[in-house]
């Protein structure tokens, strides 16, 4: 009995040690994938590619967006105004303090120029001028448009009262909401182009010399960062904001930070983006070294040629499985020779989780010269030779069979003639005995026949 208890105790101890070891191993893995620690009071990292939130810190906490407000201003203007429309700057707009593009009252500028001043120089004056122009002179009317657009995007914790983000009561948002706003704004081609510009040279106006406008977005200046567009916000050194888009190797993400520190905002942003790229499972959908298929070539010495993806398309399946990835070959209606190695003959489309996520040209890796006459019917030179050889063999075989048939017929006719001659000769030589006997009897006494 004691021995049994002892064995049970040993077994339980072993199980406990195993469990603690497993927990330690799990903790080590968790340690390696730990969420980054950042200074921002509120932040969110969203994957546009996989449609999932990768990171969130106080995503529903109400915060002041500061100048990231201008992304919403830009979206509303881009959707409702003509970029070539001329705007006369009001005294109120020109009097805006803080960050400006130095507009002058009475200055005539286009909506496009104001948009560059809005998103690059973070011009409070440009925002006000655009708000007045789009709101029929009323900032309140324009703010109502901003709120209506936010509501349409599904934002429930956002409210705007001005177009520039200057501190005001009831002007607020949340990280979760601003992901939606930034995504929509940067999906707009006009806003994306302007918010992704580093330097813009503006022509002289009726009130000012030419201007050079430069972006305030730190990470867009860093080579290889993957940041392609966005907008910063600032109130104090320890109360900054940023909303940006990352787009690299087929992976798109939206990052927003609020209540960030001026010194660590860019560093924390880079840290969060790195975390996002490491968290998402990456799969190669195309391999430039492996044949993607075959294409038929008209007029070619060869009429069936292997094709290859020109580039590597990366995908990010939600379940991390390659089963979620598919490709579709789209070739030109007619591919004609001659072709040179590297020539494009079609496009390879890549789908992941049922959505098209990228494409790459389909190219050939060899030179294809023009073929002979039959190549216009997609018959290669080699096939033409093979057809010629087959036809020659068929002709020889047919000729042989015809000759053989003639020879057999001649032989049959010859044999038939000889048999007839033999039969005739035999018929003459063979006389029946009765005939001979009848011929040998001579009727010496014919008169006796009547006796």
If asked whether residues 338 and 267 sit together in one domain, one would say no
If asked whether residues 231 and 118 sit together in one domain, one would say yes
Tell me how far apart the alpha carbons of residues 57 and 45 are, in angstroms, rounded to a whole number.
9
The DSSP call for residue 451 is -
At 172, give phi and psi (nearest 5°): -155, 170
If asked whether residues 184 and 254 sit together in one domain, one would say yes
Average pLDDT over residues 295-317: 92
- Cis peptide upstream of residue 12 (ω within 30 degrees of 0): no
Annotation: binding site for substrate: 231
Tell me how far apart the alpha carbons of residues 163 and 76 are, in angstroms, rounded to a whole number.
10
Q: How confident is the model at residue 243 (pLDDT cuts 50, 70, 90)?
A: very high
Reply yes or no on whether the pLDDT at 437 is more than 80: no
Q: How confident is the model at residue 7 (pLDDT cuts 50, 70, 90)?
A: low
Residue 412 lies in a domain: no
Q: What is the pLDDT of residues 392-422, one digit of tens each?
A: 999 899 988 888 888 888 877 877 766 666 6
Residue 20 lies in a domain: no
If asked whether residues 50 and 140 sit together in one domain, one would say yes
Q: 338: Cβ–Cβ under 8 A, 6 or more apart, which residues?
A: 300, 367, 368, 369, 370
Q: What is the pLDDT of residues 249-267, one digit of tens each?
A: 889 999 999 999 999 999 9
If asked whether residues 274 and 296 sit together in one domain, one would say no
If asked whether residues 225 and 339 sit together in one domain, one would say no
Residue 147 lies in a domain: yes
Short-list 217, 368, 362, 257, CA closest to 305: 368
Residue 327 lies in a domain: yes
If asked whether residues 275 and 288 sit together in one domain, one would say no
% of residues, the chain, pLDDT over 70: 85
Dihedral of CA atoms 253, 259, 262, 268 in degrees, nearest 10, equals -40
If asked whether residues 253 and 106 sit together in one domain, one would say yes
Q: How confident is the model at residue 445 (pLDDT cuts 50, 70, 90)?
A: low
The neighbouring-strand residues paired with 199 are 214
Residue 428 lies in a domain: no
At 212, give phi and psi (nearest 5°): -120, 115
Q: Which of 263, 279, 295 is the last residue of a domain?
A: 279
> Is residue 23 within a helix (H) or strand (E), and if so which, with residue range?
helix 2-32
If asked whether residues 150 and 223 sit together in one domain, one would say yes
- In angstroms, the Cα distances linking 310 to 114, 288, 362, 405 are 41, 6, 6, 61
If asked whether residues 335 and 366 sit together in one domain, one would say yes
Residue 417 lies in a domain: no
Q: How many domains does the chain have?
A: 2
**Comparing 372 with 34, which gets the higher pLDDT?**
372
Residue 362 lies in a domain: yes
CB 300 within 8 A of CB 375: yes
Q: Which of 225, 257, 279 is the last residue of a domain?
A: 279
**Structural domain that includes position 366:** 284-375
List active site positions: 67, 70, 122
- pLDDT score for 317: 85
CATH number reported for the structural domain that contains residue 290 in this entry: 2.60.410.10
If asked whether residues 221 and 353 sit together in one domain, one would say no
Q: 279: Cβ–Cβ under 8 A, 6 or more apart, which residues?
A: 33, 54
- pLDDT score for 426: 58
Tell me how far apart the alpha carbons of residues 115 and 83 are, in angstroms, rounded to a whole number.
9
If asked whether residues 67 and 162 sit together in one domain, one would say yes
Residue 444 lies in a domain: no
Mean pLDDT, all residues of the chain: 87
Q: What is the pLDDT of residues 123-157, one digit of tens each?
A: 999 999 999 999 999 999 999 999 999 999 999 99
3-state secondary structure 55-108: EEECCCCCECCHHHHHHHHHHHHHHHCCCCCEEECCHHHHCCCCCCCCCCCCCE
Q: What is the pLDDT of residues 310-344, one digit of tens each?
A: 998 888 887 777 888 999 999 999 999 999 999 99
- pLDDT score for 417: 67
Q: Which of 232, 248, 279 is the last residue of a domain?
A: 279
Tell me how far apart the alpha carbons of residues 316 and 281 are, in angstroms, rounded to a whole number.
6
CATH number reported for the structural domain that contains residue 75 in this entry: 3.40.710.10
Annotation: binding site: 231
**Comparing 349 with 32, which gets the higher pLDDT?**
349
Tell me how far apart the alpha carbons of residues 296 and 65 are, in angstroms, rounded to a whole number.
57
């Amino acid at each position: 009995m004691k021995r049994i208890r002892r064995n049970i105790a040993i077994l339980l101890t072993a199980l406990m040690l195993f469990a603690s070891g497993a927990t330690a191993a799990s903790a080590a893995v968790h340690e390696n994938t730990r969420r980054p620690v950042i200074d921002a009071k509120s932040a969110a990292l969203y994957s546009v590619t996989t449609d999932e939130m990768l990171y969130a810190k106080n995503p529903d906490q109400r915060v002041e967006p500061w100048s990231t407000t201008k992304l919403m201003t830009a979206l509303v203007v881009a959707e409702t105004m003509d970029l070539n429309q001329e705007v006369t700057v009001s005294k109120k707009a020109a009097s805006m303090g803080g960050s400006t593009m130095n507009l002058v009252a009475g200055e005539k500028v286009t909506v496009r120029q104001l948009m560059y001043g809005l998103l690059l120089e973070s011009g409070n004056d440009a925002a006000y001028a655009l708000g007045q122009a789009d709101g029929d002179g009323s900032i309140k009317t324009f703010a109502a448009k901003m709120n209506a657009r936010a509501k349409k995007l599904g934002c429930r914790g956002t409210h705007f009262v001005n177009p520039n983000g200057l501190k005001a009561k009831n002007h607020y948002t949340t990280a979760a909401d601003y992901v939606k706003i930034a995504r929509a704004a940067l999906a707009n081609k006009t806003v994306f182009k302007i918010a992704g510009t580093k330097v813009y040279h503006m022509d002289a106006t009726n009130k000012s010399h030419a201007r050079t406008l430069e972006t305030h977005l730190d990470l867009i200046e860093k080579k290889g960062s993957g940041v392609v567009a966005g907008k910063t916000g600032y109130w104090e050194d320890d109360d900054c904001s940023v909303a940006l888009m990352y787009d690299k190797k087929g992976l798109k993400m939206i990052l927003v930070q609020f209540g960030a520190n001026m010194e660590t905002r860019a560093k924390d942003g880079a840290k969060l983006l790195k975390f996002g790229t490491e968290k998402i499972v990456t799969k190669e959908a195309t391999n430039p070294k492996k044949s993607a298929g075959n294409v038929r070539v008209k007029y070619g010495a060869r009429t069936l040629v292997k094709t290859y993806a020109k580039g590597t398309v990366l995908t990010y399946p939600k379940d991390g499985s390659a089963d979620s990835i598919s490709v579709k070959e789209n070739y030109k209606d007619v591919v004609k020779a001659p072709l040179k190695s590297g020539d494009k003959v079609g496009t390879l489309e890549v789908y992941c989780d049922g959505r098209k996520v990228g494409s790459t040209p389909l190219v050939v890796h060899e030179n294809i010269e023009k073929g002979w006459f039959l190549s216009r019917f997609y018959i290669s030179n080699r096939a033409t030779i093979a057809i010629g050889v087959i036809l020659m063999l068929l002709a020889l075989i047919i000729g042989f069979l015809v000759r053989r048939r003639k020879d057999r017929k001649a032989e049959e006719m010859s044999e038939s003639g000889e048999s007839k001659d033999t039969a005739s000769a035999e018929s003459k030589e063979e006389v029946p005995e009765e005939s001979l006997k009848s011929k040998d009897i001579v009727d010496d006494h014919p008169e006796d026949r009547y006796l």
